[in-house]
Chain A
Amino acid sequence: MSLVTVDTTGPSLAEGYRELAGSESMQMLEALVRRLEGRRLVMVNSTSSGGGVAEILHRLVRLLNELGLPTQWEVMRGDARFYRITKAIHNALHGAPAVLDAEDWEHFHEMNRAAARELALDGDLVMIHDPQPVALAGLRRRPGQTWVWRCHIDLSVAREDCWHMLAPHVAHYDAAVFSHREFVPKLDVKAYLAPPSIDPLSDKNRSLEPEEERALIDPLDLPARKPLIVQVSRFDRLKDPVGVIQAFALARRREDAHLVLAGGSADDDPEGAMVLEEARERAQGRSDVSLLALPPDAHRTINALQRRATIVVQKSLREGFALTVSEALWKERAVIAGAVGGIPLQVIHDRTGVLVRSIEGCAHQMVRLLRSPDLRRRLGRNGEAHVRDLFLLPREARDYLAVFARAAMG
């Protein structure tokens, strides 16, 4: 069966979000569910586990069902060759040279035709996630249905030859939704923006008991009494880990603290390994800098690190959206971040955090925040309120339903 069974055990998600996000923020979502009464929603993607999209869908499908909108989730199947092709498409959409020939594209379409035969796709509202099942609208759309394409991928540097093959399929949809304005390509259908969101009930963001937090932090061997400055990011030059170490070294001339750079292990990422090595060289001889290579499922450790931090840094030089900023703000941390990509949407300078453009600026803000607990508290409180308003999962659900309401009912 291609139908995904969503885990519905444990406390109600709707109640959990109502408690955390406030009942007011759920009102419009519930009103939209009433407006769409009598309709059924079907979500479609290419995997039920692994990856951010599957993670979001497990929550969204359950939440919408709890609120009274019957919602199902179908997964299209593919063979090994299909997944190799879609991986190449994914890379090409991120700017890597495409190595797809006509036969590959024919196989891509054949798999979509097979999925069109196999899947029920019998909702009044259908949301297709990402490029793998994009051709389904042209193959299976029937009168009265409303189809929306949800692209979670950054298309800002997409290879023209690859996008050229996918774009005609998008023309069969009523609307498309993208995460960030830079990701929106030229399209003949209405394109909306729905910023990504964080799940306040997930392991990465839920509240931690002090004992649990201690148990997660203790094995990292960090100084217990020093203020921690933390950047959680993969080791990538655009996240500027070396710049963070340089800024920290300047700040340390004035204030005592400990820097933690936490990222992936970079085992399967040659460039990541190189950047990690550069960071190690820059931190050599410093006992006040820790470089942590964490496994991909270390969500609770990241949660604990962010909560334990006095300051969270995201000194990116280029960014997509940078949800790590919202994660830190949700935990009421004082954030110093680069003024690029989606960061200024999350960090309003001197209200929800501080924006920096240079190593010296970053060092100055580190000293300023280390010296001012009142300022840190104010920024943290405001940051949490800002994320509660704009970047929690119920808002993303609300945006999707609003797109359907607009497309289906005008």
Chain B
Amino acid sequence: MTEGDGSVSFELHGAVYLYQSTGTRAANLDDLLRLIREADAQTLFLHTQMPRLRSSLGEDTPTDDLSAWVSGVVQDREIGERLAFATHTTSPSIEEVRAALVQVLEAVPERTRIERDAPHGGEFEPLRFDAVSVPTGLHVETPEDLVEALGRSDRTVWFHHLIEEPWLSGPGSALVEWVRATGDRKLADALAGEAASGYSVAESRTRILRRWQRSHIGRRVAEASDRGGLERSASGREVVGNLARRLAGRKRP
């Protein structure tokens, strides 16, 4: 955050995630259980939350790497689905995710866990990452600036501030705290709620922008109703016109 003439601006950062090998691998569900128990927070985050950074692939809930491996490579659909569900938590807590994943795999008899294996060459190899923070050069001063900037930013900007930070350096996110400090509690709550929503970043972005537009239009209509008749109807026409243009995907003339 930087302070200038009394206002505090926030610089948005994206990130490039450079992957590194951990040197470990799982050939069956029993190995996977061991890996999940021993993995550091960053590795578990990478394989359960980073898939949210990818395209949503036509669905709201991205497939995490662990359940994708179990369903697709080991080809145990039932355990895959249960692991996928276990990655959904109510708060951004790696330990909550770990406990839920371990519980699913511990419920499978040890012999079955060993029998459910990958083909030779299809082992699961967990990774870690080195996040290279990249300043975007975008400094925002108001919540309006922020929403406008986020709307056209690289997906990693959302991911870095709203998902990676609360999960790995939390509690909370510096960006959300900044929004709260500007007085926009609703936007701050909405942004904070995306950390553990399980939605892809693309879907989160759509949800936040849609919600923001709705509340913004409501606010402007309410403000307009306080004005005189002529001014009110002109403002009303402008708001409705803007809404119609947005729905039609056109820019303001």
Contact = CB atoms under 8 A, between A and B. Distances in A.
A binds B: yes
A206 interface: no
Interface residues of A, number: 47
Contacts of A341: 121-122
Contacts of B173: none
A105 interface: no
Given A35-B135, A181-B127, A194-B18, 17 more contacts: A31-B136, A184-B21, A192-B130, A193-B21, A318-B120, A340-B121, A340-B122, A344-B69, A344-B73, A344-B122, A349-B73, A350-B71, A355-B72, A402-B18, A402-B132, A402-B134, A403-B18
Q: Which 8 A-B pairs have the closest CB atoms?
A: A349-B72, A402-B16, A340-B121, A385-B55, A27-B154, A382-B57, A339-B73, A181-B21
Nearest to B59: A351
Tell which of A24, A181, A381, A385 has the most Cβ of chain B within 10 Å. A181
Given A34-B137, A35-B134, A193-B21, A389 B16 contact: no
A351 B19 CA distance: 23
Nearest to B134: A31
B54 interface: yes
Contacts, number: 120
25 contacts: A24-B152, A24-B155, A27-B136, A27-B154, A28-B16, A181-B21, A181-B125, A190-B130, A192-B18, A192-B19, A192-B20, A193-B18, A339-B118, A341-B122, A344-B68, A349-B68, A349-B72, A350-B72, A378-B58, A382-B55, A386-B55, A386-B57, A390-B54, A402-B132, A405-B132
Interface string A327-346: 00000000000111100100
Contacts of A406: 18, 130, 132
Interface in A77-100: none
Interface residues of B, number: 36
Nearest to A349: B72
Contacts of A191: 20-21
Nearest to A384: B55
Contact of B58 (A34, A317, A382): A382
A24 B156 CA distance: 10
Contacts of B73: 339, 344, 349, 355
A24 to B, nearest CB: 5
A319 B54 contact: no
